[in-house]
Homo-oligomer: A and B are copies of this chain.
Amino acid sequence: MNSDFTLAIHSLTYLALQPDRMSTSDAISESAGVHAVRIRKVLSLLKKHGFIKSKEGLGGGFIFARDLSEVNLWDIYKLTSEGALQPKCPESNEQCVVGANMQRVLFNIFIGAEEHLGDYLKQYTIKDVLELIYDK
């Protein structure tokens, strides 16, 4: 899976620790160890879906917009990584019964797999992650 998921969780957790003031993309990017532009791209997605608010200009930045315990990892997975589980299927030979149908069969199986993954990831909220951060 690409790292957008990680960066989104990282950002939300960071913001969860600063509930009263705006955090800049620079500060978050320093914590996460990636370029600020990338963080802003991820944050932009989170904002579009209402998880955070942002403010431009001096003193601006990002801030959490929901209750920590009502945002779970499946919400974020869907935003950043939906479909990532699907194994890549090269275009195979339509003349062969295996080639002609393999893609469909695996696709359907992995639709189910992702639903299953969803049930698991829904267990973990940002609040839980924050607790795990401190719970060594």
Contacts and interface: CB of A to CB of B under 8 A. Distances in A.
A121 B133 CA distance: 31
A89 interface: yes
A31 B1 contact: no
A89 B30 contact: no
A35 B93 CA distance: 13
Contacts of A136: 101
A98 B14 contact: yes
A6 B90 contact: yes
Interface residues of A, number: 50
Identical subunits present: 2
Contacts of A3: 87-90
A93 B75 CA distance: 25
A120 B129 contact: no
A58 interface: no
A75 B69 CA distance: 36
A93 B33 contact: yes
5 closest cross-chain pairs (CB), A and B: A3-B88, A33-B92, A31-B96, A1-B87, A105-B132
